[in-house]
Amino acid sequence: MAGEIETIRDLCVRGKRAELNAAVTAAISAGLSAQEIMGKGLIPAMSIVGERYSSGEFFLPQMMIAARAMQEAVAALKPLLTAGAYETRAKAVIGTVAGDFHDIGKNIVKIMLEGQGYEVVDLGVDASAEKFVEAVRNNAPQFVLMSALITLTMESMRKTVQALEAAGLRGSIWIGVGGAPLTKKFADEIGADFYSEDAYQCVEACNAQLH
Ligand code: B12
């Protein structure tokens, strides 16, 4: 089992798409869960890629190739992660904030929520504060979820919270934030309702708010 996860992690880091897909399929056949493959294989692979990029061992192309391999593997796991969703539990608007184009983590959060019966309106990447405001007006969600992966784009979260407040919509929603550089302290500082370290915790936080 450990060997299969290690292989998946390694193939994802090296961006070997076809081999990664085959390894993921084999791991599922061997009885590993989609959650395990994601949590122990694919997500840690992206951390390794980030470390290698920071240390100068990897450049942007390698980071892009690894990200593409990760995205394909996540897409292959999606049916397993969303199977068994029951009636719609609540509605969420999700997006990666202005200036930021990272969407792998956001997409995983979306898949996990859909798997738990949430209806998710996805604003994609580089979503402006105005886009969030418009989506909340049009969809009346219970949750607004924002993702940021770059220290600089975390400020777009603050602007979005302020814009929602200015539009008189703040009282009707719970705002959740996440992404690798975030902390609970930052979430509190900008007036978000919750911060989650990963997609599983995010679903739990949303479920808890509904009870
Ligand atoms: C893959 C990647 C890319 C890919 C993105 C592909 C894509 N479609 O997303 C590409 C190659 C395009 C890319 C581009 C860039 N990147 Co980049 N990238 C990464 C990398 C390696 C992995 C990110 C990732 O997908 N992780 C895996 C996912 C699953 O993790 P996650 O996003 O953190 O999500 C989890 C949790 O955080 C949480 N979560 C996420 N969102 C949300 C939302 C809510 C509401 C909640 C509750 C939870 C939650 O749940 C998720 C699942 O458990 C990181 C390194 C790292 N350690 O993060 C660098 C990294 C984020 N990138 C970085 C940089 C600098 C860039 C570029 C500026 C590089 C450049 N010179 O052009 C550009 C940015 C362009 C832009 N404006 O956005 C830096 C940011 C530095 C900083 N702190 O400011 C990092 C940290 C690399 C580094 N070590 O320097 N990147």
91-210 is classed CATH 3.40.50.2000: no
2-82 and 91-210 have identical folds: no
Q: How far apart are CA 125 and CA 140, in angstroms?
A: 20
Query: Does ligand 1 come within 6 angstroms of the Cβ of 151?
Result: yes
pLDDT band at 87 (very low <50, low <70, confident <90, very high): confident
Query: Does ligand 1 come within 6 angstroms of the Cβ of 203?
Result: no
Residue 155, both tokens: 């400020």
Q: What pLDDT does residue 141 have? A: 98
Residue 196, both tokens: 């989650």
Q: What is the pLDDT of residues 132-148, one digit of tens each?
A: 999 999 999 999 999 99
Q: What residue owns the CA closest to ligand 1's atom 42? A: 178
Query: Does ligand 1 come within 6 angstroms of the Cβ of 95?
Result: no
Q: What residue owns the CA closest to ligand 1's atom 68? A: 150
Q: What residue owns the CA closest to ligand 1's atom 64? A: 150
Residue with tokens 């979306």: 110
Q: What is the pLDDT of residues 49-60, one digit of tens each?
A: 999 999 999 999
Report DSSP letters for the chain, one per residue: -HHHHHHHHHHHHTT-HHHHHHHHHHHHHTT--HHHIIIIIIHHHHHHHHHHHHHTSS-HHHHHHHHHHHHHHHHHHHHHHHTT--S---EEEEEEBTT----HHHHHHHHHHHHTT-EEEE--SSB-HHHHHHHHHHH--SEEEEE--STTTHHHHHHHHHHHHHTT-GGG-EEEEE-TT--HHHHHHHT-SEE-SSHHHHHHHHHHHH-
Residue type, 116: Q
Q: What residue owns the CA closest to ligand 1's atom 54? A: 50
Query: Does ligand 1 come within 6 angstroms of the Cβ of 200?
Result: no
Looking at the chain, the whole-number percentage of residues with pLDDT higher than 70 is 98
Phi, psi torsion values for 177, nearest 5 degrees: -130, 155
Domain boundaries along the sequence of the chain: 2-82, 91-210
Residue 2 has pLDDT above 90, yes or no: no
pTM of the model: 0.94
Q: How far apart are CA 151 and CA 182, in angstroms?
A: 8
Ligand 1 atom closest to the CA of 200, numbered from 1: 53
For ligand 1, the distance from its centroid to the CA atom of residue 106, given in whole angstroms, is 10
Q: What residue owns the CA closest to ligand 1's atom 84? A: 150
pLDDT band at 115 (very low <50, low <70, confident <90, very high): confident
Residue 102 sits at the vertex; the CA angle it makes with 36 and 110, to the nearest 5 degrees, is 50
Judge contact between 61 and 93, C-beta under 8 A: no
Q: What is the mean pLDDT of residues 103-113?
A: 94
For ligand 1, the distance from its centroid to the CA atom of residue 86, given in whole angstroms, is 31
pLDDT band at 190 (very low <50, low <70, confident <90, very high): very high
Q: How far apart are CA 184 and CA 123, in angstroms?
A: 23
Q: What is the pLDDT of residues 4-28, one digit of tens each?
A: 999 999 999 999 999 999 999 999 9
Query: Does ligand 1 come within 6 angstroms of the Cβ of 59?
Result: no
Q: What is the fold, at CATH topology level, of the domain defined by 2-82?
A: 1.10.1240
Query: Does ligand 1 come within 6 angstroms of the Cβ of 202?
Result: yes
Query: Does ligand 1 come within 6 angstroms of the Cβ of 103?
Result: yes
Query: Does ligand 1 come within 6 angstroms of the Cβ of 181?
Result: yes
Residue 86 has pLDDT above 70, yes or no: no
